[in-house]
Amino acid sequence: MKKVCVVGLGYIGLPTAIVAAHNGYEVIGFDIDEQRVARINAGDPVIEEPEIGEKLLPVIKSGRLYASTIIREADCFIIAVPTPFHDDKTADLAYVWAAGESVASVIKKGDVVILESTVPVGTTEKLAHLLVKKSGLENGIDFFVAHCPERVLPGNIFRELVVNARIIGGIDQQAMHKAKEFYKKFVSGPLYLTNAATAEMVKLVENSSRDTQIAFANQVAAMAYSMNLNPFEVIELANKHPRVNILNPSCGVGGHCIAVDPWFLIETFDKHTRLLRAAREINDQKPMDVVAAVRYEIADFEKKRAKKPSVLLLGLTYKPDIDDIRESPALLIAEQLIANQIDIMVHEPHVDQETCQRTLGRPSVSLIPAIAQADIIVCLVKHTVFKALDRKVLGSKIVLDICGLLYERHNQIGQEQIYWPAHNDFYRMYRKDGA
């Protein structure tokens, strides 16, 4: 196995292609986006990820990786395309089937096809049937199909591609072992071998577990807000129990995985996923709760001061310190406020101005002047750069700290720790008669 074709050069496909090229494979990156392909071949990684620029350039210059809008023959095909959902929350597998048809046009005897995209249980087997139908070759004899879901964290992708354990599921045992050979060359973490359906379900269960835990944190926050308590303090104290580890609440759940994957399980196992559906509904509702809280503060400000406030939102991405706005609850909050005719400013340090303008119809403003101008500041994303803010500049502002940006945990000093009064002077609660 010398030549690898990575189908889809996005947040997962491009780093995978780079790592494979650094580990001796000759890699072709196939993508239908001509501009993306041209930029990658010029050494521009397109996406924001630590180390990606310095890792991409050497393999492009050496010829070990090149991108193309034309799929080429290879020994191993890695499919890493998006899997969004339709309006009815069912999986949209159009990109997977299109990738399968492209691979089928060049597949030859002995080739291995590995689906990395997160998919409903049973999709890998359907992909194998599509390859048989389109190529005329026989699965398990002429070519081999496996599923190995990606398990990396944006912002730490290059390390996690190497050190994280991988779940490798084959349509049959031969496929499982052949897929293992691809990963064995660069993965230092454990390789767990199973069948394709199990591997598919494992990935969905992992992300659904996270979604459910976040939903619980958001429910804790809602209860705390209703009693005018600080949810971050409640959770910090609850976590003092040796067997409790509650996550922190946020403005919702986004990204291409956690906000999407539970629906794939709900679609397939409708009778056995009531908890997952409830968690999804809680997390999907959270942005609307934040919008209601912001509207309440605006109305209160107008009533008391007889003028419209200036509102600043901090953050648009779905999680801290990345440039990804897919399924972002912070972005949804901004869009909803604009739809409600509320004039807002937004500062997002990780998203370029062109994307902000295209997405929201306005640029990302400069941080310090915007804070000076703002009457209401809504902290949506816990970017590292925001943590360095001088608290003094926020002293006269109304601050809705949805993500716990300004919350400072207590330091352990002696046996007694006093949590009285709530020690974060900048944390503004939702009013009982508000959201």
Give domain 227-401's CATH number out of 3.40.50.720, 3.40.640.10, 3.40.50.300, 1.10.10.10: 3.40.50.720
* pLDDT for 411: 73
* pLDDT for 433: 44
Per the structure block, which two tokens stand in for 50? 């630590």
* pLDDT for 422: 60
> Strand, coil or helix: what is 176?
helix
Task: Determine if the pTM surpasses 0.85.
Answer: yes
Q: Give Cβ neighbours of residue 377 (< 8 Å, ≥ 6 apart).
A: 311, 312, 314, 371, 394, 397, 398, 399, 400
> Strand, coil or helix: what is 30?
strand
Q: Give Cβ neighbours of residue 326 (< 8 Å, ≥ 6 apart).
A: 254, 255, 256, 318
Average pLDDT, the chain: 93
| pLDDT tens track for 43-63 | 999 988 999 999 999 999 999
| CA atoms of 347 and 150, how far apart (whole Å) | 31
Amino acid at 257: C
Contact 311, 298 (CB under 8 A): yes
| pLDDT tens track for 331-361 | 999 999 999 999 899 999 999 999 999 999 9
Sign of the CA dihedral with 238 first, then 239, 241, and 246 last: positive
Catalytic positions, please?
203, 257
Closest of 12, 83, 23, 79 to residue 52, by C-alpha = 12
| Mean pLDDT score, 385-396 | 87
> Strand, coil or helix: what is 183?
helix
| CA atoms of 8 and 21, how far apart (whole Å) | 15
* pLDDT for 426: 52
* pLDDT for 172: 97
| pLDDT tens track for 225-249 | 888 888 999 999 999 999 999 999 9
Phi, psi of 90 (to 5 degrees): -85, 155
Other C-beta atoms within 10 Å of 129: how many? Answer: 13
pLDDT band at 428; cut points 50, 70, 90: low
The backbone region for 189, taken as left when phi is positive above 0, alpha when psi lies in -120 to 50, beta otherwise, is: beta
| CA atoms of 380 and 375, how far apart (whole Å) | 16
Contact 113, 79 (CB under 8 A): yes
Q: Which CATH superfamily is domain 3-195 in?
A: NAD(P)-binding Rossmann-like Domain (3.40.50.720)
| Mean pLDDT score, 171-192 | 97
Q: CATH 3.40.50.720: which residues of the chain?
A: 3-195, 227-401
